[in-house]
Amino acid sequence: CDWEREAFTLDEDLSNAVVEVFNRLYEKGYIYRGDRIINWCPDCKTSISDAECDHVDTKSKLWSFKYPIKGEDDKFITISTTRPETIPGDLAVAVNPEDERYKDYVG
């Protein structure tokens, strides 16, 4: 190991370098930004492209949960998921800032 060059991956200098390289690759047309779902490989422990995935539609249950809104008794935001086992790890709920139903909860 080269402990003299130890760094945290989210250090500002490293983060700036990553952004710079991604911008260069994008400008050269080597990478693109698209509306895609990111696939995660639990065996490789990395993201993989759609070309590397064999998609299989499976029937599953859609679970809905009511999250209480902090500081507002009897008010909830309902979320739905096919992966209820991830619920205990949730720290926040993201809402569409353009959706009028949630305008009071943006930020």
- Give the tens place of pLDDT for each residue, 55-88: 888 898 999 999 888 888 899 999 999 988 988 8
Question: Looking at this protein, which amino acid is placed at residue 105?
Answer: Y
- Which segment of 49-53, 66-70, 98-102 scores lowest on mean pLDDT? 49-53
Q: What are phi and psi of 29, to 5 degrees?
A: 80, 10
pLDDT of residue 36: 66
Q: Where are the alpha helices (DSSP H) in 11-104?
A: 12-27
pLDDT at 42: 82
- CA distances (Å), 91 to each of 67, 87, 103, in order? 11, 9, 19
Whether pTM exceeds 0.75: no
Q: Are 95 and 77 in contact (CB under 8 A)?
A: yes
Residue 64 has what pLDDT? 94
